[in-house]
Structure 1
């Protein structure tokens, strides 16, 4: 799974001009969303990383309340990730 995390991390770095800590969090959160197949913050906090669930939950909440996301850049990232056949 580490190779896939690295691939996601590199793609995020190419498209998002964010601080490395935010990119790392987003990488972990994306993997957690895929693993859990659920968008609930509390359920994703359990599998985000090896820290306490309450710590992860607070981290998720802070990210989405305190950080402004440019959805145009997110759209460009998603389009770049779609495989072209």
Structure 2
């Protein structure tokens, strides 16, 4: 629980959220790392709490379903924690099905130590398929509010 408190203190400096939300996010981030999975049930299994796994799982789902948060604040927080002078950006689209529903995201992330850390994303209102130029431009404009152009690494 000490790790959760320590992370919560650091998050509180950057996110103007209620303390309960900050503690939940700390718990979620640490559990995400421990589970090495994005499967929310597996993440819930790693929660450092006396609550049952099912309760933690429902809590995670409620957080993402019923709470709106500023993606720009989260992006700025991630950039603050990444120890880089310049950023190599990755643009990717992912699509999967949840039952009969298509889930389609366009994501901008930063390549860092062999992983891709998402900093901005948008849900595409499509049944799969490619993103349009307008959708990619809109997402990159959001990224431009997070990262100054001279800090973006251009390998060419």
- Asked whether the two chains share a fold, i.e. TM above 0.5, the reply is yes
Task: Report the structure number with the largest CA radius of gyration.
Answer: 2
Matches for 1:2-81 after TM superposition, within 5 Å: 2=2, 4-48=3-47, 49-81=49-81
Kindly report the root-mean-square deviation, in angstroms, between the aligned alpha carbons of the 2 structures: 1.6
Q: Which residue does the alignment assign to 2:112?
A: none
Residue 58 of structure 1 aligns to a residue whose secondary structure is: helix
Q: Deviation at 1:7?
A: 3.4
Larger RCO, structure (CA 8 Å, separation 6 or more):
1
CA distance in 2, matches of 1:52, 1:6: 20
Unaligned runs of 5+ in 1: none
Q: Report the TM-score when normalising by structure 2.
A: 0.50
1:44-69 CA-to-partner distances (Å, cap 9, x unmatched) read 11111221011101100000000002
The TM-score with structure 1 as length reference comes to 0.88
Q: Which has the higher strand share?
A: 2
Extract structure 1 runs of 4+ deviating beyond 4 A. none
Distance in 2 of aligned mates of 1:57 and 1:5: 18
Higher helix proportion (structure 1 or 2): 1
Tell me the residue number matched to 1:82: 82
